[in-house]
Amino acid sequence: MAIYEIIVFFVNRASQVIDLVQAVMQAVKAISQGAVGGAAKLVENALVKALPVVIGFLASLLGINGLAKKVQDIIKRVRSKIDSAIEKLLKKTKKAFKKLFKGKKGKAGKDKKEKEGKFTQQDRTAGLAAFEKEEKPFIQNGGISQKDAQKVAKIVKNKHPIFKSITVVDGKDSWDYQYVFRAKVDTPTKKPELSPQIKVGNRIESKSSGAISKIISFDQSKDLITLQTSKTVQKRSKLSIFAENLRQGKLFITDKPEVPEEVQQLEQEIQELLKDPLLKPGPYAKQSISSSGPKVSKDESKKMQPIGNKYGCHSTGVKEPGGNGTWIGDHQPPTELINHGLASGPQRLYPHSWSASGRQGNKVKQILNKHRELNKLKEK
């Protein structure tokens, strides 16, 4: 009989049993997903649905009819009070959560304000100390250039947001970092000391070229120096580079007498003429013989012929010598240039065509004419 009652119970209460199972499954799923608030409500519903089912099941086994209905009515009356209590509990929990998250939001707002300018004295001290630290890689000769000081200002500002702005200004004997966080303050940094050789009127000679120029003016704040290279030509250079070349000895103060512009002009013209390709072994110079003296001997002339026939003129590459049909032995460097101190070194003989040899002779004459003119000017 008990088995019959159980079967009848489940047939009559099938929908309630299914609801109970679904309520339990939903509660378990909510808890596994971390939705604790929703899970509490689902567990409550599952218990509410479970009570009439369990009580009804026990009543069926004991043969008590209508008990489940009576108990359910009692639970419905009590449930309103339970719902009210749960609602109050949820409201308190909601307020607690709001307070918790409000505190976190306030902290984030505080961080934002600090980023916008609310810093401690420690932040200011660290920012000021950064100038000296960041300058070290840029210091040369005990000081720093304006360009490098500007780099330092940018680095410090990026690393220390306490600074609203940093500007490099000229403080006469130093580059000053003019910064703003709460007040405008100047922090001086020493400029590199200029060599006493850098003085208006001093004449500077280049060690490599021998060129002489005179200092006309210089401006340390702009890192510029103006040099006069001739009566009509002035040249501007970076003062910092000029000072470094002086320090390394690439430039030096000279006491040589000032060279007249006409002399400088002639010297430049002669130097340009000496660059002519006819005055050095040409691009077709494949073979040569040593020279025994300023004039080509018969034996040397004889040795030139097979070389010229094989490789042609060393300057132009032509295969025919021209003239009387024989190759001319060309002294390199040219003898006349050596005799006047315009060239030096051991001489060798190269095959030359008559045409190239004639043009080379004219070039040498042109150089020697200017050289004589130059000597006359220097004698005055």
> Residue 45: is it exposed, middle or buried by C-beta count within 10 angstroms (0-12/13-18/19+)?
middle
Question: So where are the chain's domains?
Answer: 2-112, 121-190, 203-258, 264-379
Q: Which residue in 168, 172, 173 sits closest to 186, CA to CA?
A: 168
pLDDT score at 286 = 95
Per-residue model confidence as pLDDT tens digits over 108-139: 444 544 444 467 778 888 888 999 899 989 98
Query: Tokens 């340009």 belong to which residue?
Result: 272
Tell whether the model's pLDDT for residue 30 goes beyond 80. Answer: no
Confidence tier at 151 by pLDDT (50, 70, 90): very high
> Residue 245: is it exposed, middle or buried by C-beta count within 10 angstroms (0-12/13-18/19+)?
middle
Q: Which residue in 221, 214, 209, 211 sits closest to 197, CA to CA?
A: 214
pLDDT score at 282 = 96
pLDDT score at 185 = 45
Per-residue model confidence as pLDDT tens digits over 54-101: 666 555 555 545 544 555 566 566 556 666 665 666 566 556 655 554
Per-residue model confidence as pLDDT tens digits over 202-218: 999 988 888 888 999 99
CB atoms closer than 10 angstroms to residue 372: 10
pLDDT score at 210 = 81
Confidence tier at 32 by pLDDT (50, 70, 90): low
Confidence tier at 351 by pLDDT (50, 70, 90): very high
Dihedral over Cα of 129, 133, 134, 139: its sign: positive
- CA dihedral in degrees (354, 355, 360, 365; nearest 10)? 90
Contact between 120 and 196 (Cβ < 8 Å): no
Task: Give the tokens for residue 296.
Answer: 């080509």
Higher pLDDT, 368 or 189: 368
What percent of the chain lies above the pLDDT cut of 70?
66
* Helix, strand and coil percent figures for the chain, each rounded to 5: 55, 15, 30
Dihedral over Cα of 167, 170, 175, 181: its sign: negative
pLDDT score at 262 = 84
Distance of alpha carbon 45 from alpha carbon 376, whole angstroms: 123
What's the Rg (C-alpha) of the chain? Answer: 52
What are the residues whose beta carbons fall under 8 Å from the beta carbon of 355, sequence distance 6 or more? 316, 318, 322
Amino acid found at 167: T
Mean pLDDT of 152-172: 88
Confidence tier at 9 by pLDDT (50, 70, 90): low
Distance of alpha carbon 232 from alpha carbon 169, whole angstroms: 34
pLDDT score at 209 = 81
Amino acid found at 65: N
Tell whether the model's pLDDT for residue 18 goes beyond 80. Answer: no
Query: Tokens 């050596």 belong to which residue?
Result: 338
Residue 332's DSSP bridge partners are: 348
Mean pLDDT of 147-154: 91
Q: What are phi and psi of 178, to 5 degrees?
A: -100, 110
